[in-house]
Structure 1
Amino acid sequence: MSSEYGFVPLRDLSVRITKGTTPTKGEGFVTQGVNYIKSESITSDGSIDASKFAFIDAETHDKLSRSKLRAGNVLFSMAGVYLGKSAVVLPEHLPANTNQAVGIVTLDESKADPYFIHYALQSPACRAWVLRSAAQSAQPNFNLQEIGELKIPAFPLALQKEVAGVLRMLDDRITLLRETNATLEAIAQALFKSWFVDFAPVRAKTEGRQPEGAIQGSMSAAEGRMPKAAMDATTAALFPDSFEESELGLVPKGWQVLPIGDAVDCVGGGTPDTRNEDFWQPGEFCWSSPKDLSSLGTPVLLSTERKLSLRGLAKVSSGLLPSGTLLMSSRAPIGYLAITQIPLAINQGYIAMPPGGRLPPLYLLFWCRENLDVIKGRANGSTFMEISKKAFRPIPVLAPASEVIEAFQSVIDPLFERLVANERQAQSLTQLRDTLLPRLISGQLRLPDTVKSETPYVD
């Protein structure tokens, strides 16, 4: 990384660099209290995930005064799989403390912008240097002295804010898209549960009530609201008004319980010999392993890390699966789920359910989520738990009347289409940010005045 401004050690921009503290003997942890930010709370996209906080009581927080956090602190993960990840502490995270695997950088904000420092630490050159340095020890880790020695471009403060402002603008747009997707996904799951788990429309009819609608238009979905308006008469007429006994207990009358293997094809895949380059070059056909699903925030697969050649594809018995196939990881761990948006081949770590069966992939996506404990209960294995296709296919699934499935699809399909479009845009913006970041941080790319004027974070 080069810069016409030169570089300065991070310590020269800091008031203090310290690290968190772990309470003695694990004492002081509570179910609710002061936020305790762990390494795993620092995400790969540079945010802080509140769902992964632990909590300590106020007395313990006061005892750990050295590692009390304040807004504007830059956190740096010092060890393990989270090594090198950084994030900025925001007011909404406070009060907070952190553990001994997290470095705390308190900046001299007359010299350094916290977000610029965060982005500098996440630049490819800095990340590569951190990982190379840490790899020289038996247990990859970084100490406080090494954090202080990290080289930061010596930009003037105003330029730091300009660069950080552009990158934050992209990050905020990515965050908004993915928050919208989480809302859309939650609404779709709630509708599935209402119709096909709780049987709310059927129960309403058995009690002489008008069934309630779950979604009143796409704007309600986007805003996260689920108005309890009356279901239209045409849709309500599709549901029976009574229940009957089945293998799964009471289910709506006329709906069928059958093995999932009778409702949809369930196929696996394989891995061509990785030592034979003829199977992988030239890479023409997408090929997926569950690793591709491990970091997805949305159940949509748009691309794969690896591709097969035509000869390699011939080695996968299930061949090229169509776009719209539901993938479920069948081991290590069981239960990653995504619907593909590209034709692809898969490895042996999946059970795949292509479209065209009695139950569509979107129905099966939400069914798998609701029944994940049942699915895992059919797994076995000595090294790691795995569910085979043979064990999966007999699992009973409820197949509603085709007209009800069509009504469900008519509501869910537009939500999912919007979710896919949002994810495509988020990935495009992520690629743009990752392309701009090293060039902006190095000074190779200058910001035009039009960009500066449109950046909301520039003073």
Structure 2
Amino acid sequence: MHKNWKTYKLSKVTTKIGSGSTPRGGKGAYKESGISLIRSQNVLDFKFSVNGLAFIDDEQAAKLKNVTIEENDVLLNITGDSVARVCSVPQEFLPARVNQHVAIIRADNKLLDSKFLMYSLLEKSNKDMLLTLGSAGATRNALTKSMIEVFELQLPPLKEQTQIANILSAIDDKIENNLATNKTLEDMAMALYKHWFVDFGPFQDGEFIDSELGLIPKGWEVKRLEELSEIGSSKRIFRKEYVDAGVPFYRGKEVIQLSKGKNISTELFITEERFQEIKLKFGAPVKGDILISSVGTIGVSWLVDDSGEFYFKDGNLTWLKNYKSFIKGEFLHLWLNSNVGQEQILGETIGSTQQALTISALRSLKLVIPPKSIYQKLEENLVNSYRQTQLNLSEVATLTNLRDTLLPKLISGEIRLKEFKTQVEHLV
């Protein structure tokens, strides 16, 4: 710690620390719209999630007026498995309140920059300390108000806090912009696919014929998935073959995260030698192949990118590869994600006690295929959209790694702004 940095208890550099409650009646009291009620599921590390955002009316909100969120407040999850997750709330979701599982921490802006506060609580040693406090001596993870009040942070002068926070925020803003751009690209690709290949919009004035899947334009065909792609799984890897470092080994949960464009923290690996042995005998996924989650959360597909070699768990994931016609992975990926594809997948898993998507079930799925000339009119558009998405995700991975590397060094004072500012500015 540098000589001009000082250690403070949070109670000395904040104007509010407190959590709320759930309105009487619990979930049944929530409204369709109104004032946001922020719960632990909305508080993720670094970012706010709208998934499951609840709303309350003015009367309910009045009873929680002591936990009104103000712009730049930092939110900290204080109970359960998500304890110690930290973010701030975008202004568009205000006015808002918090329930009893989330604490508001309001920086005293004369002493503490609110973004510096958020990043400090996310810094690994501080995060680990919060997790340790939260798990101490209770059946359920919990951080109390008194624990938060006495929690200590090392703070540089306010101006330097703001400079550090601005650098980290610039990286996070670029990450969010890339992810938002990808969402737009994906939505546009799906809308284009649906218009041409599900609604047959450009072909409505032409002749239609009956098929197993209803009326389709004349000249189009219904094909089983097995006619378009080889469908299989991986070579079994045994628990004893896992190692601490090497080639990443993905299960369903990693592939689901990758399908959402999220960075993953690989937990399992196999040796490079074992991977090369399997690759030589049985093959390994390459760019453009598709992996589909087949147990638990079923039917989530990931179009394999070019981010590096990996292997995956048999049974959990099914593998589409070696496409057999002019139809390629981008088209099949859009079909798998479309309502039409998802309904067929759901139809194959309903009624089973252990829900699973089998290889034989996938082989029998049917889809409408256009003539090659029509497919080629949109192929370049779809491929370019996916290519831009992959470039954006690659940049997200680089930026996330940069932020995660810089954060502990900046928050601890190990490195100073002038030492790397030029390096960061060209990236963000």
Q: How far did residue 81 of structure 1 move?
A: 3.2
Are the counterparts in 1 of residues 107 and 117 from structure 2 also a CA contact under 8 Å? no
| 1:352 pairs with 2:319 | yes
Match of 2:270 in 1: 308
SS of residue in 1 equivalent to 2:368: strand
Tell me if structure 2 keeps the 8 A contact 1:300–1:339.
no
Q: Distance in 1 between matches of 2:419 and 2:133?
A: 38
2:226 alignment partner, one of 261, 264, 275: 261
Structure 1 residue runs without a partner (length 5+):
207-240
Q: Does structure 2 retain, via aligned residues, the 8 Å contact 1:268–1:318?
A: no
2:238 to 269, 273, 298: 273
Alpha-carbon distance in 2 for matches of 1:303, 1:141: 25
3-state SS in 2 of match to 1:334: coil
Letter aligned with residue 311 of structure 1: R
1:133-144 pair list within 5 angstroms:
133-136=133-136, 137-144=138-145
Give the drift of 1:199. Answer: 0.6
1:415 aligned onto 2:385: yes
Shift of 1:451: 3.5
CA distance 1:163–1:298, change in 2 (3 Å):
same
Cα drift, residue 331 of structure 1 = 1.4
Task: State the percentage of identical aligned residues.
Answer: 26
Matched, 1:174 2:188: no
Could you tell me which amino acid in structure 1 is paired with residue 363 of structure 2? R
Q: Deviations over 1:186-233 (max 9, x none)?
A: 110111111111110111xx1xxxxxxxxxxxxxxxxxxxxxxxxxxx
Task: Please give the residue correspondences for 1:317-396 in structure 2 after superposition, counting only pairs within 5 Å.
Answer: 318-341=282-305, 342-348=308-314, 349-358=316-325, 359-370=327-338, 371-379=341-349, 384-396=354-366
Q: 1:446 aligns with which of 416, 420, 423?
A: 416
Q: Which amino acid aligns with 1:397?
A: L
Q: 1:304 to 1:337 in 2, by over 3 A?
A: farther
* Contact 1:264–1:353, Cα closer than 8 Å, also in 2: yes
Specify the code of the residue in structure 2 equivalent to 1:292.
E
Q: Which letter maps to 2:349?
A: A
Task: Give the deviation of 1:125 after TM superposition.
Answer: 0.6
Assess, with a 3 A threshold, how the Cα gap between structure 1 residues 127 and 382 changes in structure 2: closer, same or farther.
Answer: farther
Whether the aligned pair in 2 keeps the contact of 1:74 and 1:87 (CA below 8 Å) is yes
Point out the more displaced range, 115-124 or 10-19.
10-19
1:440/1:446 contact within 8 Å kept? yes
Q: Aligned partners of 1:319 and 1:418: how far apart in 2? A: 27
1:103 corresponding residue in structure 2: 103
* TM-score normalised over the length of structure 2: 0.89
Q: Structure 2 CA distance, aligned partners of 1:350 and 1:259? A: 20
Q: Report if the CA contact (8 A) 2:291-2:319 is conserved.
A: yes
Count of aligned pairs between the two proteins: 413
Match 1:291 to one of 253, 266, 270: 253
| 3-state SS in 1 of match to 2:222 | strand
Distance 1:76 1:200 in 2: 49
Residue 228 of structure 2 aligns with an amino acid whose one-letter code is A
- Give the direction of change, closer, same or farther, for the CA distance of 1:302–1:407 in structure 2 (3 Å limit): farther
Residues 1:33 and 2:3 are matched in the alignment: no
CA distance in 2, matches of 1:79, 1:335: 32
Q: Partner residue of 1:67?
A: 67
Shift of 1:404: 2.0
Q: 1:266 to 1:414 in 2, by over 3 A?
A: same
Q: Is the 8 A contact 1:256 1:399 kept in 2?
A: yes
Q: Structure 1 residues 85 and 304, CA, compared in 2 at 3 Å: closer, same or farther?
A: closer
* TM-score (norm. length: structure 1): 0.83
